[in-house]
Amino acid sequence: MTKKLCQRFTQLKAFAACSCDLESLFSERAISIVRRYGHKKAPEITSRIALRCICNVLLLAEPTRQIFVNQGWVIKSIDLIERVLIPRLLFEISDTNPQQFVENVGYRYGSGFLLALGEPLPANEEGTIKGPAINPVTGQRWDKEPQFNPPEMTEEEKEREAERLFVNFER
């Protein structure tokens, strides 16, 4: 892990429900355990235990709930969780493979995180993804995306629109 990422984990110690476990959760061994037991093939009880370990570290401690969430240090911890921990965990679950990561979360969400890590963005090669066709930007299946078919404009509406655009362009 990078030094900057380790510093962010250290900042989160103040907000964790059980801050003593923070370093141990994000070690290489712990992440591999979460990856192994977090998949669907693992027994349900083991998956729940792995999820509980993550929750104990990431959920806010009771003293930090004394004030509104949008005040003080708590909002910073939520921001770090959104920007650092969740994408990092998704990347680790994707076997630290940029191509797999983009397939899992979509190019739109994955590209920013991969650039921040300094990882090369995967090339969009046709036929590399097995299964239904997926929109690389949104991560949604093409056949499930809403189709937008604007209504046909009459000649009069087209003239008014052209005139409006011309006036705006002249300004």
Helices 86-93 and 98-105, packing angle to 10 deg: 120
Q: Are 101 and 90 in contact (CB under 8 A)?
A: yes
Domain residue ranges of the chain, discontinuous segments joined by +:
1-71
**Is this structure's pTM higher than 0.85?**
no
Average pLDDT over every residue of 39-45: 55
pLDDT, tens only, 43-79: 555 556 666 666 665 555 555 555 555 555 555 566 6
- Report whether pLDDT(155) > 80: yes
* Whole-Å CA distances, 149 to 71, 143, 146, 152, 153: 45, 15, 10, 9, 12
What integer pLDDT is reported at residue 15 of this predicted model? 45
Retrieve residue 159's tokens.
Answer: 């003239």
Query: What's the pLDDT score for residue 14?
Result: 45
Express each pLDDT in 81-137 by its tens digit. Answer: 667 777 877 787 777 888 888 877 877 778 888 888 888 888 765 445 566 777 766
Question: CA-CA distance, 29 to 32, in Å (whole number)?
Answer: 5
What lies within 8 Å, CB to CB, of 139 at 6+ separation is: 104, 105, 106, 107, 108, 109
* pLDDT reported for residue 159: 94
